[in-house]
Amino acid sequence: MIAEPPFLFWGEGKENLLSIHLKNMAPRQKALPPIMSKDTFVRVLCLFSFLLLLHIGFTAKIFCWDRPFNNAANWGGTGLMEIPNARVLEEGVIRLGVAQALPYRWYSGSMGVFPGLELGFRLTEMTNLTTRLGPAYGAYKDKALDVKYQIREETKGFPAMAIGVHDFWGTRLFPAEYLVFSRQIFPLDITLGFGRKRLHGPLSIPILDDFGLFGGIELALHERLHILAEYNPIEYEKDKKKAIPEGVRSPINIGLKARILPGMDLGLSYQRGDTLGLMFHLQVELGKPILPQTPDPPPRVSIDRRPFHERDQRDMIKKIHEAIRKAGFSDVSVYTDGRDIVAEFDNTKYMSDQKAVGRVLRILLFHSPSDTGQLSVVVRRRDMPILKVTVKPDYLEKFLLGKIPGELFYSKLLDIEIVKQTVDQPQNYIRTEREKEFRFNFNIKPEFQMYLNDPSGFFKFRPGIKPYITTNVWKGALAFARYDIPFYSNISSSNIPLPDAVRSDSWYYSGKDYSFDRLIIDQAFRLSKKTFGRLSLGYLEKMYAGIGGEVLCFLGEGNLTLGVEADWVRKREPATQFALMDFERYTFFGNIYYHLTRPDLTLHAQYGKFLAGDIGWMLNIRRRYDTGVILGMWWSFTDTDHLTGFNRGYNNKGISLSLPVRMFLPYDSRGRYSYSFAPWTRDVAGTVFHWQNLFELGKDLMPADFKAKLNKINK
């Protein structure tokens, strides 16, 4: 499996640094007595549960949100140590960590994908079990996916309630389903849950034999220090892989969690009656700038509201043109017919097109004569005018002064439309000429590739950088070059790829050699007001060179989009700059996109012929957050009967992550760093990785998407 996550986190540490398994210590000592008997703990738990379920008023302070008790459990999801609680990560927050309570070691990542919905991935290593793959692979390891949904947020009269499923896909060595309640009586948080399978345990519930009881408490001694106690129902001797075949001495776990720095948590615990554990987790809001941001107030320009008959109109539009350029925008041109003023520009400065439109509208207002009829801005992309926003000067001025509510201004007083040309009758306008300039955008993408689950070694990696440059060459065309510079690579495989492999031999392209990652000309053009075309030619990606084309039509306000695309490619020779192999493939697809503006969600269905010749569907769902981060997941359904070996019957699946470059900069930027992660590298549902497609080119400027974020106009 090859993936491209943005960073490397923790590798395997020494056993005695992460935790101590007391019964493996020498000389062997007499086992320590349990902290509390099971019967005593259950009585205490029932007492707290009684208070929880009465829903009476408490004199203690009650908070109706998950903080500060939405911290990580051993396995990375939100919980105590081995049990979940009803708390979830906030939307857009990601948590990464490592934990250990021998013989288990967990590497995990979780994220608040939607309000109330938390998804998690974990890799569980059982250090005392081996595999048939040999000593180079190390101890037995298992991947698992978890999901939790908070059905009800906590209120003054009702606890938080959540349902969840552990290990719902794959080998399912650690499956569980549960319903859990949590009640915060600050500084105390009480959890009571009912679980099936691995969370069933010995405390069955009358009538509901399939469910067992679990629970715990968490006490915030300080905003940075919590103590925890839980009843852990897991009967380890019943697991499919018996890492603890003899079971545990005590189901009572106790622990401490400390926030040593903002977003950085350390946990220490005493589990199963004889085991010390340690956990370390990082929790951040993805997309939030890491560096302090340089102040960026709206441009300050002198105000000149003299009427048209007192102004030199050509001089006026030249001043407006220069002011827009100084604000950081390119391809600027300004028009006037003695009544209206129109400015067109390419937003090369801000991630938000709404913010860019708001900045240019301010400049127009400050320079516009008092008898101006309308102010319009036209946003261009690749030298093509696409979106036009029009407003009357009086409405804009009153809105900026707070005299018109935002909701009224956005919904009634702004006119937003797709255009193919800037003005209807150019001959009636005085205009400034656009100064054609070559713009070079240079940046460096940090790179970290991982290759997992190979018999020759479970974890292999390749850190490096990819410097790249983008420039406009002619109308609609961009040239893009990116060079791959690895710092180190130990990626190899003992698996011999099939002769017709299209992706499963990708590890050949992950060595120590420097090479051009991409070198392409990408041409976009307009077929109609809402229909676009694309031709791409060159070294399209690390493995393939060739030519590709696409046609895409945005329907209505842009929520629904239909299109077709095709590629003809030849495979590149590994460890060379430009050499090609005698290996040709082609693809052909139909595309359907549906965009939901709230939440910002895109559904993409693709049907056609893939690189390996399999025909079928690729489904993709992408969620864009307010910070600019885009999280995606994909799954394929194709006919694999003609494929052999591990490809037959496989479904291509994985996740993608697009980070805004501005989170690493002290200023705004439109750039992105994109990464992907897949559990296996297979030939099924293989596609050519395009630098930019037409949907990405036009979606942000379609009325549906633009109107959904109009509040950023006033930024």
Q: For 72, which DSSP code?
A: B
What radius of gyration do the chain's Cα atoms show?
29
The structure tokens 């070198």 sit at 519
**3-state SS assignment for residue 715:** coil
Distances (CA, A) of 398 to 292, 402, 406, 483: 32, 6, 10, 50
Query: What whole-number distance in Å separates Cα of residue 661 and Cα of residue 672?
Result: 5
At residue 199, the pLDDT reads 95
What phi, psi does 78 have (nearest 5°)?
A: -75, 125
Q: Nearest Cα to 238, choosing from 318, 165, 176?
A: 176
**Structure tokens given for 147:** 């999901």
Most confident of 39-48, 297-306, 338-347: 338-347
At residue 435, the pLDDT reads 74
Q: Are 212 and 204 in contact (CB under 8 A)?
A: yes
What phi, psi does 398 have (nearest 5°)?
A: -65, -35
Share of the chain above pLDDT 90, in %: 73
What are the tens digits of pLDDT across the range 74-89?
Answer: 999 999 999 999 999 9
**3-state SS assignment for residue 467:** strand
At residue 45, the pLDDT reads 52
Query: What fold does the segment set 308-437 form as a domain?
Result: GMP Synthetase; Chain A, domain 3 (3.30.300)
Domain definitions of the chain by residue range: 38-285, 308-437, 440-496+506-703
Query: What whole-number distance in Å separates Cα of residue 66 and Cα of residue 518?
Result: 45
At residue 23, the pLDDT reads 32
Cβ neighbors of 163 (< 8 A, separation 6 or more) are: 148, 149, 151, 177, 178, 179, 180
What are the tens digits of pLDDT across the range 261-270?
Answer: 988 999 999 9
At residue 6, the pLDDT reads 35
What are the tens digits of pLDDT across the range 422-472?
Answer: 888 888 899 998 877 778 889 999 999 988 877 778 888 999 999 999 999
Please determine, for residue 60, whether its predicted confidence score (pLDDT) is greater than 50: no
Interior CA angle at 43 toward 40 and 48, to 5°? 130
Query: What fold does the segment set 38-285 form as a domain?
Result: Porin (2.40.160)
Please determine, for residue 10, whether its predicted confidence score (pLDDT) is greater than 50: no
The DSSP secondary structure of 601-666, one letter per residue, reads EEEEEEEEE-TTS-EEEEEEEEEE-TTS-EEEEEEEEE--TT--GGGTT---EEEEEEEEGGGGSS
Q: pTM of this prediction?
A: 0.85
H or E segment at 196? strand 188-197
Query: What whole-number distance in Å separates Cα of residue 420 and Cα of residue 188?
Result: 61
Please determine, for residue 206, whether its predicted confidence score (pLDDT) is greater than 60: yes
- Scored b (16 or more CB within 10 A) or e, 595-631 reads bebeebebebebbbbbbbbbebebebebbbbebbbbb
